Amino acid sequence: MHRIVALGDERVDRGRRGAAGFSLIEVTIALAVTLAIMATLYMVTRSSALLYEVQSHAIERGLSGLRALDDMALEIARAGLGLGGDVQAVVPALPGAGPTADALTVRSNPEGIVGALQAGLLVHKVREVRFRLTTDAQGAVVLVKDVEGQPRQVLARHVGGLRFEYLDDLGETIAPARVRPGRSLGGVRITLSLLPDPARPPVHVPPLTLVVPLEPQSATVTFDVPRPGFRLRRAFYRMRNAVGVVSRPFSEAGVILAESPAGPNWLYTFPLQRLIRDARIDTVVPLARVRQAAALALAPEEGPWSGSLFVVTGVLRSIQVWRVSPDAFGGISASSEVDLLTETRDMSVLGGAAFGIDGGIYLSDPSAGAIFRYLPGDPDPGRARVEPVAAVPGRPGPLVLGDNGSIYCLAEAPGAEGGGTVLWELAFDPAGAPEPPRRVARLEGAPRSVALDPLTGSLYALLADPLGDTVLLELSRPWLRRPQTPPREAFRLSSWRKEVERTLPEAGDVVIPRNLLPPSLDFVSFDASGALYFGAAKVELVLQAELDRPGGVGLHTLGVAGIVGQEPGLVRKSIRIQAWRKKVFGF
Amino acid sequence: VEEEGLRVLNPRERGVALLLVVVALATLLPLALVLSSYVLTRHRQVNLFRENVGGQAVVRGALALSMARLRSGKIAPRPGEAETLAVDEPPSRPVHVTVSRQPDAVLTLDGSVLGPDQVLGLDLQQLGFDGEGRTVHQFRRLEVYLVEAESPDRFPFPAVRLLAVVARLENGQVVCLGLRYDRGY
């Protein structure tokens, strides 16, 4: 009855509907709306709680990572402070362990405390800091910082990975095994990956990376009066078909491999001391079973064959690898054992040999156009296990292990290229496996020999130029990266011969009879002290010389370091300067 | 009647909309605050790290500048004196540098360091010969400078300071003999 109302009188109708209560549909709609709002509120609240958990976890992870990275960066930036350049300030290893990429030892002397035991012998108070990964009592991987005399400090927990990469002064990566005393480092790249805490909600933690440049903490002052030029120091006569010269770091003796008058090869050891100017031979080590040696390589000091000399021969289309072990005093002498390690017919000609950073001996075969590898550590000695690892166009010849850990090969260019020499680089991937060879540059002339200057890291390539002369080219590290201009000519045989014939010798100069002046050179070598050697088979000579390097290498050089000290609570600062005689090998 | 028919809300329900808005804001506000707090925290973390690294780089740059000026002679304090320079580049990170000249050090061929009192009466240009007859210097004199470069603190970031020992050799070369960074000293 109430529904029958006059048109235009809705006000009356609305008032009555309110008085009659809500209909079922209205209640249902209201209930649905309420439920929807409550569900939304619940979801929002739950999301907020989850977000809170996740984000606080992410913040904790981020902060832990940054703090750890900052702590490591500060310590690395202090490396070498107050120690001087002769102390290895950055060691990619822990005490008693081999080189590794996930641990680091940093040394410094922030207080500048130095004592002098005797003239030239200094004792530093060394602060040693070690960063490494370990497992805590709960089984989590943690990054710890150990400082001698202080309790261990945990920098970060739940670490997924820690990696230290070492950069040289050109920014190139150096393998940890090649970070050694005397090797200049440009910086350390730290990569730290943290994992989420398993007890908290999962979260993505991006890895953190920081490059820390190493600061100059010392300098050198030379007392030498500059005297540029190529200076002959010694001439070893009657060295028949000499193959090369090597010496161990810090050793007082060098070793020449040559043929004996009777045929088998001999090793001649001689004193390296620079004061000795005559060509005396200390010891002769007969290698009775070794004939037609074509290459020699000294095993890396950081490897298992440290101190051993490897001689590679090519006899009757068969390649043999011999090992001459060090004697009880670590040198090569008549008591050194000589063993045949392997013999292979997979190769027919030997072009060159060099150790790789993987501990393998790399051998080039010009006729096969390939580089082979022999791993001396393989079991079952005596069997041939020489495998091809790289194909090189042309005729690959001399090999050398470069300062950056790559093997470099001089190869005769294929005929289609019009002759000349091509320099190839055989780099190694982070796992230590050789990568495909990379063509670096083309050089004029035929390849003779290549050697690494241990003082500058430059390669020196000996080439027979098209006019019959012999030239020595300096392939510096910057040039090897960007070989856009011809390399610097460090020595030209014809020019040197003219100079020797034209000038009168001064007191102390080494004089070579005119009929023994070499018409050509066959090999170039460096000993560990940086002295240069040439071999001239036609006149049976081995020449030792000092090379005029850019910047020079002084014999009388001091290292100097300075420390700023400040007493606690005082503004005034004091400076302490220390000096030490730089080690010059063989001096 | 027509005017009242146009009303959307019942006059008795006035204020309900406001109440709804207040309830919605109250619900969303904590979430917004939490998010904002996280953003600020992350921002602060990253900034702190950047400022640390950036501060170190700026004072290192100031050292390189000081060494270049020492090399070129634009800075040449006498012994016991100091010169200051302000590096305003970048403007957001001004650096104050003091270069103070310390007493000269004299090195001898055998590796000793002589102080100012020990060099009185010595001919520092003296030459000698080594065992092989080579000509060598007997002494080398170093001009020693202390370089202090400071990037002041800006809350919440600590100040960064660099202390370096710099030497000028007799051939004009300027070398760094050692440096260290301090933060929040």
Q: For A380-445, where are the E strands, in sequence order?
A: 387-391, 395-401, 407-412, 421-426, 438-443
Instruction: Tell me if B142 and A560 make a contact (CB, 8 A cut-off).
Output: yes
Per-residue confidence at A186, pLDDT binned at 50, 70, 90? confident
Alpha-carbon distance B25 to nearest alpha carbon in chain A (angstroms): 12
Which chain A residue shows the shortest CA-CA distance from B141?
A221
- For A218, the closest of B53, B60, B177 (CB atoms) is B177
The pLDDT assigned to A169 comes to 79
Average pLDDT over residues A19-44: 83
Query: Is any Cβ of chain A less than 8 angstroms from the Cβ of B118?
Result: no
The pLDDT assigned to A193 comes to 94
Q: What percent of chain A has pLDDT over 90?
A: 32
Query: Is any Cβ of chain A less than 8 angstroms from the Cβ of B174?
Result: no
Per-residue confidence at A252, pLDDT binned at 50, 70, 90? confident
Which chain A residue shows the shortest CA-CA distance from B33?
A48
Average pLDDT over residues B62-79: 90
> Does the pLDDT at position A336 exceed 80?
yes
Per-residue confidence at A345, pLDDT binned at 50, 70, 90? confident
Three-class DSSP category at A581: strand
> Does the pLDDT at position A8 exceed 60?
no
The pLDDT assigned to B65 comes to 92
- For B178, the closest of A69, A73, A217 (CB atoms) is A217
Inter-CA distances, A352 with A349, A413, A448, B152, Å: 9, 16, 10, 60
- For A216, the closest of B4, B107, B176 (CB atoms) is B176
Which residues are CB-contacts of A470 (< 8 A; sequence separation ≥ 6)?
A448, A462, A463, A464, A492, A493, A520, A521
The pLDDT assigned to A227 comes to 56
Least trusted range by pLDDT, from A31-35, A359-363, A564-568:
A564-568
The pLDDT assigned to A282 comes to 87
Average pLDDT over residues B1-28: 72
> Does the pLDDT at position B33 exceed 90?
no
Average pLDDT over residues A521-532: 90
How does pLDDT run across A392-434, given as a tens digit for each residue?
Answer: 999 999 999 998 889 999 999 887 777 789 999 999 887 778 8
Return the sign of the alpha-carbon dihedral for residues B172, B175, B177, B181: positive
Q: Provide, as residue numbers in chain A, all residues whose Cβ is less than 8 Å from the Cβ of B132.
A: 274-275, 277, 508
> Does the pLDDT at position A82 exceed 50?
yes
Interface test with A, best of B38, B52, B148, B177 (most A CBs within 10 A): B177
Average pLDDT over residues B87-101: 85
Residue owning tokens 């000269």? B104
How does pLDDT run across A189-236, given as a tens digit for each residue?
Answer: 999 999 999 988 888 888 999 998 888 888 888 887 765 456 788 899
Per-residue confidence at A551, pLDDT binned at 50, 70, 90? very low
The pLDDT assigned to A496 comes to 86
Average pLDDT over residues A508-516: 79
Per-residue confidence at A447, pLDDT binned at 50, 70, 90? very high
Q: Which residues 17-76 of B are in CB contact (within 8 Å) with A?
A: 27-28, 30-31, 34-35, 38, 41-42, 45-46, 48-49, 52-53, 56, 60
Inter-CA distances, A585 with A182, A489, A529, B18, B152, Å: 12, 25, 5, 89, 47
Least trusted range by pLDDT, from A9-18, B27-36, B125-134, B143-152:
A9-18
Q: Provide, as residue numbers in chain B, all residues whose Cβ is less than 8 Å from the Cβ of A555.
A: 130, 134
Q: What percent of chain A has pLDDT over 70?
A: 87
Would you list the DSSP string of chain B?
A: -HHHHT-SS-GGGTTHHHHHHHHHHHHHHHHHHHHHHHHHHHHHHHHHHHHHHHHHHHHHHHHHHHHHHHHHTS--PPTT-EEEEEE-SSTTS-EEEEEEEPPPEEEETTS-EE-GGGGTT--TT-EEE-TTS-EEESEEEEEEEEEEEEE--BTTBPPEEEEEEEEE-TTS-EEEEEEEEEE--
Instruction: Tell me if B136 and A577 make a contact (CB, 8 A cut-off).
Output: no
Complex confidence, ipTM: 0.77
Q: Assign residue A504 a region (left: φ > 0; alpha: ψ between -120 and 50; beta: otherwise).
A: beta
Q: Provide, as residue numbers in chain B, all residues whose Cβ is less than 8 Å from the Cβ of A508.
A: 132-133
pTM of the predicted protein model: 0.62
Alpha-carbon distance B74 to nearest alpha carbon in chain A (angstroms): 23
Least trusted range by pLDDT, from A18-27, B49-58, B74-83:
A18-27
The pLDDT assigned to A309 comes to 92
- For B105, the closest of A69, A275, A577 (CB atoms) is A577
The pLDDT assigned to A121 comes to 61
Average pLDDT, chain A: 84
